[in-house]
A and B are shown apart, each in its own frame.
Chain A
Amino acid sequence: MPEDNVFKAKRGLDESVVTTISQIKDEPKWMLDNRILAYKKFLDMKMPSWGADLSGIDFANIFYYVKASQKTEKSWDDVPADIKTTYDRLGIPEAEKEYLGGVKAQYESEVVYGSLMKKFSDQGIIFCGMDEALAKYPDLVQEYFGKLIPMGDNKFAALNTAVWSGGSFIYVPKNVKVDMPLQAYFRINSANMGQFERTLMIIDEGAFVHYVEGCTAPIYSTDSLHSAVVEIFVKKGGRCRYTTIQNWSTNVYNLVTKRAKVEEDGVMEWVDGNLGSKTTMKYPSVVLVGNRAHGEILSVAVAGKGQHQDAGGKCIHLAPNTTSRIISKSISMKGGRASYRGMIMMAPGAKNARSKVVCDALILDKKSRSDTYPVNKINESEVTLEHEATVSKIGEEQIFYLMSRGFTDHEAEAMIINGFIEPIVKELPMEYSVELNRLINLQMEGSVG
């Protein structure tokens, strides 16, 4: 595909690139100042050394900003043909196209398709690109932006804060329940282009939303970086489910910080599927600040040849009667490595807090690897914490059993693997679960990755 970018910043990062990004977007001064401060933090901070190997990232060799087309598209007809072709190649189901009015699709670093369904706006729901949100609702953005994941949280949060572009902004007013999933599709288009989207969601009291984010990318020869930040505020009695299926090409470093703050009786659910990328580091977090708040992290990771999926979750209990659950399923094959890294923290006063962690690993061959790094910080005595972990291999007897029913060894393996991740897959919207099963089957046959 030709790279007909309208504007592409120079390769590498310095203060002028940061300033240029902000100027092109015509941002308020506080955001420019914020970016520059974050850029300085980014320079000061050390690379995280506790997790996956990140030594292959060459910050000087990345494009930090690319703008595909001048304006945000208003209707599907206006979307350029080559972008539509890309969507077709991503296999967006026909059935979803009727909902495309609600889609925020990030093409390169910018939201190009941005029409809101009328019924959303009638209900007072805001669903738009972050850039648009900053222009239209600067006070709302300023009130929440970076409040949950401050720029100094980690080096990549600092980087994202300095150069962020695109991403979604969602506000759901009090007691409004969005009855269909809001969806966004992301892809990286330019070789060596980092993608630094920034997503901010505010779910007001008693409101509900399900946000679905799917990522796929074509294969490129040079390393690429995806480093997003997602902040979610769930107010009293609100509920948010955030579903991600990412399938970055296997040269991408996927380093994402996701965190939700949940108030009294609120519920946050992260459903996270990591298939692609060279290296993923992603630990969706819930900070339970109100009485009876609940957090849930369901994650599935598939690590194939040359891949390291370092994924997990964090649940931080700061209030009484808060509950959380982490279910992590990982599959490693063809020399891939899947790590579970998780933390449960229970602060003094979090009486009757309960948490359950289940991590199951399936290792398909001797070359592959799985490990778990659970951390528990319990500073309150009246709490309950359960931890279950299993590591299994596909049994010869399971394969024989299914083969004796007429299935080939590949089919038998796929049935066992799909069964293994079924508890997570059943939580996905149908087309995603079909896609996930299909992708895993392809990966097993060696036709991708």
Chain B
Amino acid sequence: MMEIKNLVVKIEKKIILNNINLSINSGEVVAVMGPNGSGKSTLAYALAGHPKYEISGNLKLDGEKIDDKSPDLRANMGLFLANQYPVAIPGLGINSFLWQVYKKREKKLMSLVDFRKHVIELAKSLNLNLDLLNRSLNDGFSGGEKKKMEILQMLVSSPKYIILDEIDSGLDVDALKVIALTVAKFALKNKVGVLVITHYNRILKYLKADRVVILEKGNIIKIGNNKLAEEIEEAGYGEI
């Protein structure tokens, strides 16, 4: 279980998230929705351990406290953040990078040759142009390609908990569908807890949320089921 208790997040003394309480069980999909500026992405960064935020409260992953742990330690405990804006690392070849990512999380390694084949299969399943695998990480990639690369990294790092930070922004319908279905399938098969941070309901059509949490101005203002997401799509955040 990923537990968030009394979480307060500040940046330069300004409160961005105020007293958030939320838990995500293994195998559960929780959607966090809210208008721009509600603090959704801050929640993702705070959970992953971005150093620019000042946080108080309790964060636990499978019972272990993580709020004083650096991002790499959290990742190695099985937390994966799919970034809203994946950064480029020029010169860092994707093939070798994915192998390094895989080695960080996996104890029983397949051979490098088998791993390459595995990556190609995964890339095909995401409709990712295979030529991209020979390039530098996210360097010159389109928005959609970057998002697919996030999911590819997710698949090779075998996480236990996934945070998708607006993975749906800037995606066309086909890319959205393949990404959402890939995550849904992966989460179901491996009993992974998923936190889907999104502005829109459309990703939740393929990745069904067990719970929907509405965030506004740093506070959780409503918790409901999938219906809540549909209501928002029809009525907008103003009507909640």
Question: With A419-B92, A419-B136 as given contacts, are A404 and B87 in contact (CB-CB < 8 Å)?
Answer: no
Neighbouring A residues of B97 by C-beta, 8 Å: 415
Assembly CA distance A396 to B50 (angstroms):
9
**B65-91 interface bits toward A, Cβ cutoff 8 Å, 1 = contact, 0 = none:** 000001110111000110100110111
Interface residues on B, range: 20 to 34
CB distance from A439 to the nearest CB of B (A): 17
Min CB distance A406 to B, Å, is 4
Residue of A nearest to B75 (CB): A406
CB contact between A396 and one of B52, B70, B75, B101 (< 8 Å): that residue: B52
Q: Are A398 and B105 touching (Cβ within 8 A)?
A: no
Which of B86, B91, B137, B157 sits near A406, CB closer than 8 Å? B157
Interface string of A419-430 (1 = CB under 8 A from B): 111110000000
* Residues in A397-430 with C-beta less than 8 Å from chain B: 397-398, 400-409, 411-412, 415-416, 418-423
- Residue A395, interface by CB 8 Å: yes
Query: CB within 8 A of B157: which of A402, A405, A421?
Result: A405
In the complex, residue of chain A having the shortest beta-carbon distance to the beta carbon of B93: A422
Are A406 and B76 interface neighbours, CB within 8 A? yes
Inter-chain contacts of B137 with A (CB < 8 A): 419
Contacts of B193 in A (CB 8 A): none
Beyond A400-B50, A403-B70, A406-B101, whether A423 also contacts B75 by CB under 8 A is no
B195 to chain A, nearest CB (A): 14
Once the chains are docked, how many angstroms separate the CA of A406 from the CA of B97?
A: 12
- Interchain CB contact under 8 A, B91 and A422: yes
In the complex, chain B residues whose CB is within 8 Å of the CB of A422: 90-93, 136
Q: B72 touches which one: A396, A408, A420 (CB < 8 A)?
A: A408
A409, B73: Cα distance in complex, Å: 11
Let me know if A397 and B87 touch, CB within 8 A: yes
Q: How many residues of chain A have a CB within 8 Å of chain B?
A: 24
Contact A402 B52 (CB under 8 A): no
Are B75 and A419 in contact, CB atoms less than 8 angstroms apart?
Answer: no
* Given the contacts A396-B51, A407-B72, A402 and B89 also touching, CB distance less than 8 Å: yes
A405–B91 touching, CB < 8 Å: no
Q: Which of B86, B89, B157 has the most CB of A within 10 A?
A: B89
> Which residues of chain B have C-beta atoms less than 8 A from A398's C-beta?
87, 89
Q: Which residue of A lies closest to B137 (CB)?
A: A419
Asked whether B89 lies within 8 Å of A416 as measured between CB atoms, the reply is yes
The answer to whether B214 has its CB under 8 Å from any CB of chain A is no
B27 interfacial by beta-carbon distance below 8 Å: no
B51 and A400 within 8 A (CB) = yes
Most buried by B among A398, A400, A408, A421: A400
A416 and B52: CB pair below 8 A?
no
A403 — which chain B residues lie within 8 A by C-beta? 49, 70-72, 75
Give B157-203 interface residues, CB cut-off 8 Å to A.
157
Which A residue's beta carbon lies closest to that of B76?
A: A406
In the complex, the answer to whether B91 meets A418 with C-beta atoms within 8 Å is yes
Which residues of the partner chain A approach B51 to less than 8 Å between Cβ atoms?
396, 400
Q: Is there an interface contact between B87 and A405, defined as CB atoms closer than 8 Å?
A: no
- Interface residue B42 (Cβ < 8 Å from any Cβ of A): no
The residues of B that contact A395 with a CB separation of less than 8 Å are 87
Find out whether the CB atom of A404 lies under 8 angstroms from the CB atom of B91.
Answer: no
**What is the distance, in angstroms, from A277's C-beta to the closest C-beta of chain B?**
25
> Given the complex, which residues of A lie within 8 Å of B81, measured CB to CB?
404
Instruction: Tell me the bound Cα distance from A402 to B153 in angstroms.
Output: 11
Instruction: Tell me the complex Cα distance, A400–B49, Å.
Output: 9
* B50 contact set on A, CB distance < 8 A: 400
**Contact between A406 and B105 (Cβ–Cβ < 8 Å)?**
yes
Q: Are A420 and B71 in contact (CB under 8 A)?
A: no
B104 pairs with A405, CB closer than 8 A: yes
The reply to whether A420 and B91 form a contact with Cβ atoms under 8 Å apart is yes
- Given contacts A400-B51, A419-B136, is CB(A406)–CB(B89) below 8 Å? no
B residues near A407, Cβ cutoff 8 Å: 72, 100, 104
A401 in contact with B136 (CB, 8 Å)? no
Known: A419-B90, A419-B91. A404 touches B48 (CB 8 A): yes
Q: A397-B87, A403-B75 are in contact. Are A415 and B92 (CB under 8 A)?
A: yes
- Please give me the residue from chain B that is nearest to A405 by CB atom: B101
Q: How far is the CA of A356 from the CA of B54 in the complex (A)?
A: 47
A404 touches B89 (CB 8 A): no
Complex: A330 Cα to B137 Cα, angstroms: 21
What mask results when residues 29 to 72 of chain B are scored 1 for a CB within 8 Å of chain A, else 0?
00000000000000000001111100000000000000000111
Residue of A nearest to B86 (CB): A401
- Complex Cα distance, B50 from A415, in Å, reads 19
In the complex, which residues of chain B have a beta carbon less than 8 angstroms from the beta carbon of A408? Answer: 70, 72
**Chain A contacts with B in 313-346, Cβ cutoff 8 A:** none
Name the distance in Å between B39's Cβ and chain A's nearest Cβ: 18
Chain B's closest residue to A416 (CB) is: B89
Chain A residues within 8 Å of B74, by CB: 404
Cα–Cα, bound, A397→B137 (Å): 14
Contact in complex: B90, A406 (CB < 8 Å):
no
Complex Cα distance A422/B96, Å? Answer: 13
Nearest CB of B to A150, in Å: 40
Complex Cα gap A398–B50 (Å): 11
A419 to B89, CA, bound (A): 7
| Chain B residues numbered 113-160 whose CB sits less than 8 Å from any CB in chain A | 136-137, 153, 157
Mask, A289-304, CB within 8 Å of B = 1, is 0000000000000000
| CB neighbours of B90 from chain A (8 A) | 419-420, 422
* Minimal beta-carbon separation of B81 from chain A (angstroms): 5
Other than A406-B157, A419-B92, give 11 A-B pairs with Cβ distance below 8 A: A400-B51, A405-B153, A405-B157, A406-B75, A407-B100, A408-B70, A408-B72, A409-B70, A415-B92, A419-B90, A422-B93
A-B contact pairs, 26 of them (CB 8 A): A395-B87, A400-B50, A401-B83, A401-B87, A403-B72, A403-B75, A405-B72, A405-B153, A405-B157, A406-B104, A406-B105, A406-B157, A407-B104, A412-B72, A415-B89, A415-B97, A416-B89, A419-B89, A419-B90, A419-B91, A419-B136, A419-B137, A420-B90, A420-B91, A421-B91, A422-B136
**Which 9 A-B pairs give the minimum distances between C-beta atoms?**
A419-B91, A422-B91, A406-B104, A406-B75, A403-B71, A419-B92, A403-B72, A404-B71, A401-B87
